[in-house]
Amino acid sequence: MNIPFLSFEPQHAPLRDAMTAAFSRVYDSYWYVLGEEVKQFEREYAAFNQVAHTVGVANGLDALVLALRVLGVGPGDEVIVPSNTYIATWLAVTQVGATPVPVEPDPATSNLDPARIAAALTPRTRAIMPVHLYGQACRMTEIMALATQHNLYVVEDNAQSQGAAFAGGLTGSFGHLNGTSFYPGKNLGALGDAGAVTTNDAALAHKVQVLRNYGSQQKYYNEVVGYNSRLDELQGALLRVKLPHLPEWTRQRQQVAAWYDQHLAGIPNLHLPAVAEGATHVYHLYVVHTPQRAALQQHLTAQGIGSLIHYPVPPHLQQAYQALGFAPGSFPIAEELANTCLSLPMWPGMTEAHVAAVADVIRAF
Ligand SMILES: Cc1ncc(COP(=O)(O)O)c(C=O)c1O
């Protein structure tokens, strides 16, 4: 059985007519940037994420950059980031001129460990960026309490976790400003690059709106040095077609994860994803850990089963971050997770037969 790492087919094939109708609507409107589609999508996504405001932007990285910029985080400031995130979280901090300060994750969940944050705080710390990695919500109650206690901003990186929750609150609704990504492979994916900032603060939302549009409210009058980072009308219209299906797609991802949990139980040296108490997981990725990662991946490939590594090199060991002076051993938990993680096929529409076939191949290995 050939099982790809990701197939869009079950999500996209049934929506073909609705998506092409949305395309035609935008095409015929003769209005392609910052119009009604983006406005409506922002309202609909805010309702979905249970926040007062959504501001559509060009991609997830920009969402994080604009959030930090609006909060005034910049040169001389330190921002707490996970040691094991996708590099975009760190890049956002660097791009506003601040310094990323890595904190190790809980190895069981791969998510930022709130108990380790306090030790990394200095008088220069301005913000904490929790990343709900792989789709599991971070322990936001503790993180928000710590932020309040130390007068810090929180910017959630919600790129992988639309619809996840901690203690009943949705990810992307806790922080002062939060970023998400609608990159095609994300749980809610556009047909190209797209992202959004979410917040409950009207004044901050307004500042993001100005900053994404050249720092301008009135055409050709610029109040601040802004960006061109707008969500396209076309992507807004297409995302509006997909958004109502996200809860059902999430339910299917959770069902696929439950099947994996069952079918992979008890295999020696194979660690399955753990979910923290109070957290929900929307399984953007189903990530296992094994010391025999390279051989297992080769074996899966040989049997026609896709897999990927998220991520092979932690940010502190990337060439891009050489100047920070970290070395192998600086963040041993992140390094161990990077050396042992393997993401198995995960997409809405996968069947139990697919999962059982993947599990059989792993068990045979
Ligand atoms: C955790 C995380 N943060 C940020 C991003 C950046 O999103 P984008 O690719 O839309 O810029 C991504 C996805 O690529 C991500 O996985």
The secondary structure of 123-154 as a DSSP string is TTEEEE--B-GGGBPP-HHHHHHHHHHHT-EE
- Both tokens of residue 359? 């599990």
Query: Where in the chain are all domains bearing CATH 3.90.1150.10?
Result: 246-364
- pTM for the model stands at 0.98
**Distance set, CA 36 to CA 16, 33, 207, 358, 361 (Å):** 22, 9, 20, 44, 49
CATH number of 9-244: 3.40.640.10
**C-beta 131 within 6 A of ligand 1:** yes
Distance CA 196, CA 181 (A): 7
Residue from 61, 93, 133 to probe ligand 1 pocket by mutation (most atoms less than 8 Å from CB): 61
pLDDT for residue 1: 77
* Spacing, Cα 134 to ligand 1 middle (Å): 11
335 in helix, strand or coil?
helix
Rounded to the nearest angstrom, the distance between the alpha carbon of 191 and the centre of ligand 1 is 15
- Indicate the angle between helix axes 36-49 and 16-29, nearest 10 degrees: 140
Any atom of ligand 1 within 6 Å of the Cβ of 156: no
Confirm or reject: Cβ of 89 under 6 Å from ligand 1: yes
CA of 30 to the centre of ligand 1 (A): 30
Q: Are 215 and 131 in contact (CB under 8 A)?
A: no
User: Which ranges in the chain are annotated with CATH 3.40.640.10?
Assistant: 9-244
For position 306, what pLDDT does the model report?
Answer: 98
| Cα–Cα dist 27/277, whole Å | 47
Cα angle, residue 166 at apex, residues 165 and 169 outer, rounded to 5°: 65
CA–CA distance, 234 with 221 (Å, rounded to integer): 26
pLDDT tens by residue, the chain, 365 residues: 799 999 999 999 999 999 999 999 999 999 999 999 999 999 999 999 999 999 999 999 999 999 999 999 999 999 999 999 999 999 999 999 999 999 999 999 999 999 999 999 999 999 999 999 999 999 999 999 999 999 999 999 999 999 999 999 999 999 999 999 999 999 999 999 999 999 999 999 999 999 999 999 999 999 999 999 999 999 999 999 999 999 999 999 999 999 999 999 999 999 999 999 999 999 999 999 999 999 999 999 999 999 999 999 999 999 999 999 999 999 999 999 999 999 999 999 999 999 999 999 999 99
Ligand 1 atom at minimum distance from 89 CA? 3
Q: For residue 258, give both structure tokens.
A: 């439950």
Q: Which atom of ligand 1 has the smallest separation from the CA of 181?
A: 10
Q: Give, using CA atoms, the residue closest to atom 15 of ligand 1.
A: 159
The pair phi, psi for residue 137, each rounded to 5°, is -65, 140
**In whole angstroms, what is the distance from residue 292 CA to residue 296 CA?**
6
Check pocket membership of 90 for ligand 1, CB cut-off 6 A.
no
Question: Under a CB-based contact definition with an 8 Å cutoff, are residues 66 and 211 in contact?
Answer: yes
From residue 208, how far is each of 10, 177, 196, 233, 297 by CA, in Å? 35, 9, 10, 18, 42
CATH of domain 246-364: 3.90.1150.10
Which residue puts its alpha carbon closest to atom 10 of ligand 1? 60
Q: Is 91 in the pocket of ligand 1 (CB under 6 A)?
A: no
| Predicted local distance difference test score (pLDDT) of residue 97 | 98
Taking the C-alpha atoms of residue 145 and residue 152, their distance in angstroms, rounded to an integer, is 10
